[in-house]
Amino acid sequence: MCRVTRRLDLATKIAASAPITKQYRLAAVFYKGGALQSIGQNSEEAAFANGYTLHAERAAIDPWTLKETAGLLYVSRVRSRGDVSLSKPCQACVDWLVTETKVKRVFYTMPNGGHGSIDLNSLRK
């Protein structure tokens, strides 16, 4: 099993135990230098003042080290039925990751069991 698959499997296990928000559970795991640094889950309890949910991608990045985060992020979504689905980060999260962090790449689950990725370095100006 490849490293990406193992890390997405970990994100999937964590997502499966996360609180359900909008009929799904979502988790992200952040790795730097090959070591697990942090874990994040979608949370309606940690919602922003405007009512938006705290997204797993943001929850997984330590806010005190935003500019030190030259690592990789892995995101998984599990539906309430238990099946893995597309977990490609929303555009707001991609924009935030590009402008506020140094995360190199985001890997995300796909419903067919595969995965996709976004090269964040290629989006930086």
Q: Report pLDDT for 61.
A: 87
More confident residue, 8 or 69: 8
* Whole-number Å distance between alpha carbons of 44 and 65: 23
Q: Classify domain 3-115 at the CATH topology level.
A: Cytidine Deaminase; domain 2 (3.40.140)
Confidence of residue 65 (pLDDT cuts 50, 70, 90): low
Ranges 10-14, 38-42, 107-111: which has the least confidence: 38-42
* Whole-number Å distance between alpha carbons of 29 and 22: 21
Cα atoms in the 13 Å half-sphere on the side-chain side of 16? 10
User: What is the residue extent of each domain of the chain?
Assistant: 3-115
* Whole-number Å distance between alpha carbons of 93 and 101: 11
Residue in 103, 78, 118, 109 with CA at minimum distance from that of residue 5: 109
